[in-house]
Amino acid sequence: RTELAIKEIMSSGGAEDDIPQAERKTVTDFCYLLDKSKQLFNGLRDLPQYGQKQWQSYFGRTFDVYTKLWKFQQQHRQVLDNRYGLKRWQIGEIASKIGQLYYHYYLRTSETSYLNEAFSFYSAIRQRSYYSQVNKEDRPELVVKKLRYYARFIVVCLLLNKMDVVKDLVKELSDEIEDYTHRFNTEDQVEWNLVLQEVAAFIEADPVMVLNDDNTIVITSNRLSETGAPLLEQGMIVGQLALADALIIGNCNNQVKFSELTIDMFRMLQALEREPMNLASQMNKPGMQESTEKPARRENPHKYLLYKPTFSQLYTFLAASFKELPANSVLLIYLSATGVFPSGRSDSEGPYDFGGVLTNSNRDIINGDAIHKRNQSYKEMHCLHPGDLYPFTRKPLFIIVDSSNSVAYKNFTNLFGQPLVCLLSPTAYPKALQDQSQRGSLFTLFLNNPLMAFLFVSGLSSMRRGLWEKCQDYLRKINRDIAQLLTHSRSIDQSFLQFFGDEFLRLLLTRFIFCSATMRMHKIFRETRNYPESYPQLPRDETVENPHLQKHILELASILDVRNVFLENTLDDY
């Protein structure tokens, strides 16, 4: 088929016999590489989504072919223009596929530097206007390729916090969609407009704006930086466990999402990543770097991002993570999901008697959070119960549940004596607090960007950069003090300390305590269900209700001039 196509292409450029042998070979080689690249790229879909080893050699081969193809079209552009009729959108397609490869490599490895590589290829397409001629051709499928490129570029920019670029891309995409639907009377107009609405809502999800002096918005990053996690002081006795794998699960009804990422998932994945670094060379293939080139301590925990998984999908990925977890490592499970409550009365109090969180099913959900069954004596089927996680507590497990039924996971039992911690969100927020749930959970915001969450509960919606940075410095001091409170505690459960040696988990634990202490001091958070909880329980007087920490929180409130929002004599109020 390829040879026939080559003959047709070349004869259309003039008499076939007139074409020099070298040029003929150039076209043949290009067609071979193009075919091979498409074949390998399509094969990526058939690779298992879970398991970290099987896919690497296949990805390596695909990268090899695309690297050759990219360089080949650069070196022989003149011949390919004349003899093959190479169009600019075809070069754009190759660059777009390489961008997709880098993005998928990021998803597989969690190495944020690959996002920069995807960004550089996607940017080149835009700067060089590779897709600009597509609109002149009467082929709707080509325009759809262009629209999909925009959507993919937006995802990468969101993950890199390049919000200024996102806003430009959204405007361009909006114009392209309008032109597309005007020229071709297509059925997918509603879907593309939905894409625009989703990304617009995603950009506006943050409840607080940080402003420069000229009123432009400051882009803040919430990935782990060098100064991010409080350092361990000499003499702190903590475990040597490292966070190696994380399942980030999003199954909330009506939460802002874009491209199978809810805003909660987006925030949590950034809390488990370091700031990206630029890779040395654009065409360095992933996995091909010499070990000597790798900067020290750069690894991010591997992640699976599961949007609205069914129970069987969730369990499959969980089992794969569990199986591949290295020695002295931790598996983190983050659940941001609608609560499922037991509908029947149960005499027992076992791990399947308190409900849990929603897993996806094709059935309709009735009454938002409550799911009804025909037979009251059976347990909820489309639900991840605490008991479902018991088999996985054979290895160190760190669980975060953000749900209206998070307390179901308070009834855990540590059967195997391995380190086990559950951080549980409030099950309800005060009515007086404006409902932000659609724009992401307040609890997850505290774990991702504690200062923004603190400003939101204090009733602030914007702030100057200078004050923001001053507060961030003070918050780092608070985190250091929380770390000391934890490690000096006489009565704290050892599980907390065993996880405390890992930077990511240390930061999550200190932010959790800051969140809990803030809510307990806040005047409108007055019910028990308004507070986060944990399994095992933290000693309150040494952590979330510690007078030293409460003094710090009041001091932070004073810097922001919102001290009136908090109770002064909290210890007297309990």
Contact 512, 425 (CB under 8 A): no
Q: Give yes or no: residues 405 and 336 share one domain.
A: yes
Residue 134 lies in a domain: yes
Q: Give yes or no: residues 440 and 386 share one domain.
A: yes
Q: Give yes or no: residues 270 and 190 share one domain.
A: no
Residue 199 lies in a domain: yes
Q: Give yes or no: residues 59 and 191 share one domain.
A: yes
Q: Give yes or no: residues 268 and 151 share one domain.
A: no
Q: Lowest mean pLDDT: which of 125-139, 303-317, 322-336? A: 125-139
Residue 289 lies in a domain: no
Residue 44 lies in a domain: yes
Residues with Cβ within 8 Å of residue 44, at least 6 apart in sequence: 58, 59, 62, 104
Instruction: Classify residue 293 by burial, with Cβ atoms within 10 Å: 0-12, 13-18, 19+.
Output: exposed
Nearest to 244 by CA among 395, 61, 418: 395
Q: Give yes or no: residues 130 and 74 share one domain.
A: yes
Number of neighbours of residue 100 by Cβ within 10 angstroms: 20
Residue 410 lies in a domain: yes
- The model's confidence at residue 185, banded by pLDDT at 50, 70 and 90, is confident
Q: What is the mean pLDDT of residues 287-314?
A: 71
Last residue of a domain, one of 188, 208, 228: 208
Domain that holds residue 49: 15-208
Q: Give yes or no: residues 250 and 167 share one domain.
A: no
CATH number of the CATH domain containing 393: 3.40.50
Q: Give yes or no: residues 202 and 246 share one domain.
A: no
Say how many domains are in the chain. 2
Nearest to 247 by CA among 301, 300, 299, 305: 305
Residue 41 lies in a domain: yes
Q: Give yes or no: residues 250 and 126 share one domain.
A: no
Q: Give yes or no: residues 413 and 495 share one domain.
A: yes
pTM of the entire structure? 0.90
In degrees and rounded to multiples of 5, residue 462 shows phi and psi of -150, 160
**More confident of the two residues 274 and 411:** 274
Encoding tokens for residue 281?
């060379």
Residue 491 lies in a domain: yes
Does position 315 have pLDDT exceeding 90, yes or no? yes
Q: What does the DSSP 8-state code read for residue 541?
A: G
Q: Lowest mean pLDDT: which of 365-369, 528-532, 550-554, 565-569? A: 365-369
Q: Give yes or no: residues 403 and 316 share one domain.
A: yes
DSSP code per residue over 375-434: -TTSPPSSEE-GGGGGGGGGS-EEEEEESTTGGGGGG---SS---EEEEE--S---TTS-
Cis bond before residue 326 (omega within 30° of 0): no
Last residue of a domain, one of 182, 208, 234: 208
Q: Give yes or no: residues 384 and 498 share one domain.
A: yes
Task: Report pLDDT for 574.
Answer: 42
Residues with Cβ within 8 Å of residue 488, at least 6 apart in sequence: none
Mean of the per-residue pLDDT values for the chain? 87
- The model's confidence at residue 284, banded by pLDDT at 50, 70 and 90, is very low
Task: Report pLDDT for 366.
Answer: 47
Dihedral of alpha carbons 269, 101, 93, 280, sign: positive
